[in-house]
Structure 1
Amino acid sequence: MLVKKLQGRRSMEKKERSKFLLQKNQMGVVKKKRRREREGEKKERDRRMNNSLQVPSPWEESPLLFSFAFGSTCFLTLFFSFLFSFLAFLEF
């Protein structure tokens, strides 16, 4: 009689233990899912932040501005070089 009670108790303990382990495993799976979701949200938020921080340069915005700046720089360089060479020529 006592042996049957102990065996019944052990089988109940085993059932409870397996039930507990199953619940624990399911909780672990849920925690992993939540962690993956949080990491995904964090990656998405970081990606959005990086995209918003990247400001396009004015040269990418309008190539016409770049061509104007480059052309005016070349023109001024040539203009002043000819001016100074002409002034140097007048000195002699």
Structure 2
Amino acid sequence: MLSGWSRDPPAFTTGTIDIDVCLSRMSESLPVLVERSIQIAWDLLERSGEITDPGDESRFFSEISMTLVRAGEHRQLMLANNAIVSHCVV
């Protein structure tokens, strides 16, 4: 036992990680991943007054996000950031 610990130390002090716990946090379905990333982009652009046609914007964000997901991108913030950047470029 490490000095100062009254019980077993947390996993981070022993250099081990519970891979099942980490992966379980990242196992959301692709539709949920896309929906959450679109919501992040939408919230930011709506607050800045950039949303002019909600229907077109929604389709545009969906197309951008699905294209990236098909290419293998599954990081929520990367999907949101790419949707924002693509919106600002167009």
TM-score for both structures, normalised by structure 1: 0.28
Greater relative contact order structure (CA < 8 Å, 6+ sep): 2
Quick check: which has more Rg, 1 or 2?
Answer: 1
Q: Which has the higher helix share?
A: 1
